[in-house]
Amino acid sequence: MAIAAQTPDILGERQSGQDVRTQNVVACQAVANIVKSSLGPVGLDKMLVDDIGDVTITNDGATILKMLEVEHPAAKVLVELAELQDREVGDGTTSVVILAAELLKRANDLVRDKIHPTSIISGYRLAMREACKYVEEKLSVKVEKLGKESLTNCAKTSMSSKLIAIDSDFFANLVVDAVQAVKTTNARGEVKYPIKSINILKAHGKSAKDSYLLNGYALNTGRAAQGMPTRVSPAKIACLDFNLQKTKMQMGIQVLVTDPRELEKIREREADITKERIQKLLKAGANVVLTTKGIDDMSLKAFLNLLKDLSQYFVEAGAISVRRVRKEDLRHVAKATGATVVTTFADMEGEETFDATYLGHADEVVEERIADDDVILIKGTKNSSAVSLILRGANDHMLDEMDRALHDALCIVKRTLESNTVVAGGGAVESALSVYLEYLATTLGSREQLAIAEFAESLLIIPKVLAVNAAKDATELVAKLRAYHHTAQTKADKQHLSSMGLDLSKGTIRNNLEAGVIEPAMSKVKIIQFATEAAITILRIDDMIKLVKDERENAED
């Protein structure tokens, strides 16, 4: 029920109390329902068509929500939540949204039963802390115990709901090799896996199984001129973020020329400036020049009054120049080779110089042909090793979805390697936590007891949705799952049952740790933390004021 704002000065409408809460919950449920059917190994895909008719086919939660135009402010919180999960962990975006919406729905029911939101919030916070502690202490398993297979199994679990699930064995090995290839140790002695050093190139043609891993950072562009060598070794790389085209006068500068011969000199000087710049690069020892802007093909040589290729300076020096390199790629190449991205040649004195210390180093730079495109490969980089995944596939939609699936799998393998702990997948963690938190709730004598009990119930939404999407009897499967976990937690000799999860292809319960359905423990912990925080943020709202712009001001304007 919308009522006019109480203060006469405020123009707009205000809703408060239960109305707002219900409205927020409904909006969040609507968002969660969109992604709900895409969860799990048999989740369905969504086709999203934007305003200019571009089609995206995906079942990656973050991608779906990013492309939706969400207007409701509370629902936007869920979209941001999926983005945060994507940034922090890389996978589990659908789960986090579904869980947050379920927590909200149950909290709203408690508020209707006259329980104050503050009591619910403190109960949720306590449940979140206890759940995360229980995952880390009781449910997680060190990767060493499971061996290298655990990494491929993590990647397979991440891919199980994606388009490439059918070839997950092949792609999982590809992903694990790629992540291990970029292993680096930072100054503090920590081992890191910068997956940004893995470049993913999409090439039409052949089948998905023809994708492969290339040793070297691949740039999706060719040499600037055909006369240049196709291979340079060892390579000294200059990374430029400006034009190497014929210099032009700045806008707004006027030069009054009375003698036509002076005009010719101006043109000559313009061509010479670029020539000097290129000579400075070559003098510093650069034999590979990458620039984000253009390298002018035609530059006037007033002397001969002929159009000549400006790239010839590079050709004569036996160097490769590459134009229109993406800024992101340039940054990654600079980081991998130890180069400095140069935005201008000007030094403190206003002179133009180029220092040899700005150059990056690599064993070799070669041009290769992949599918119909020329690709520049930078191999044996100095700082951190860089690799490229070349994806093959029938069409753009398939390649894009493969790219998203591999991004998630790369992130999951990175997290597994860095955190070194995994948990069983397929609803095992959620069911175990649900049983544990329900027992915990009965030990408390305060109002938080109800909130924790609801939190425990909410966690079961994940195994329920997984079972429903697989066209199995959710009620029966979840009941069996809870029975197993109750036994695991009450009988000391049955602790191995804590890894029991769903087998969605057969519709039974199995030990998912042994079956190889595993996820990084960090992923589960973050899902619980983020979902709870988002639910609490929306639950705290009890007033919504929509302001309308004062039309009197408009008239005055």
Catalytic residue among 56, 58, 63, 94: 94
The separation between the first and the last C-alpha atoms of the chain, rounded to the nearest angstrom, is: 33
**CA-closest candidate to residue 288, choices 357, 225, 365, 385:** 365
Would residue 94 show up in a list of annotated catalytic residues for this protein? yes
CB 479 within 8 A of CB 429: no
Token pair for 397 = 């939609």
Strand order in the sheet with 212-215: 198-204, 387-393, 212-215
Q: Which residues contact 480 (CB under 8 A, 6 or more apart)?
A: 509
Angle at 428 between CA 529 and CA 156, to 5 degrees: 90
Within 10 angstroms of residue 81's Cβ, the number of other Cβ atoms is 27
Mutual angle of helices 521-539 and 93-112, in 10-degree steps? 40
Within 10 angstroms of residue 270's Cβ, the number of other Cβ atoms is 17
Catalytic residue among 56, 63, 93, 381: 93
CB 314 within 8 A of CB 224: yes
Catalytic residue among 45, 296, 408, 503: 408
Would residue 297 show up in a list of annotated catalytic residues for this protein? no
Angle at 357 between CA 353 and CA 361, to 5 degrees: 125
**CA-closest candidate to residue 295, choices 314, 267, 272:** 314
Burial string for 109-118 (b: 16+ CB within 10 Å, else e) reads: ebbeeebebe
Would residue 230 show up in a list of annotated catalytic residues for this protein? no
Catalytic residue among 45, 56, 58, 60: 60
Using CA atoms, how far apart are residues 4 and 252, in angstroms rounded to an integer? 54
Using CA atoms, how far apart are residues 539 and 303, in angstroms rounded to an integer? 76
Would residue 60 show up in a list of annotated catalytic residues for this protein? yes
Burial of 510 (0-12, 13-18, 19+ CB in 10 A): middle
Tokens 């180029």: give the residue. 354
Active site residues: 60, 93-94, 408
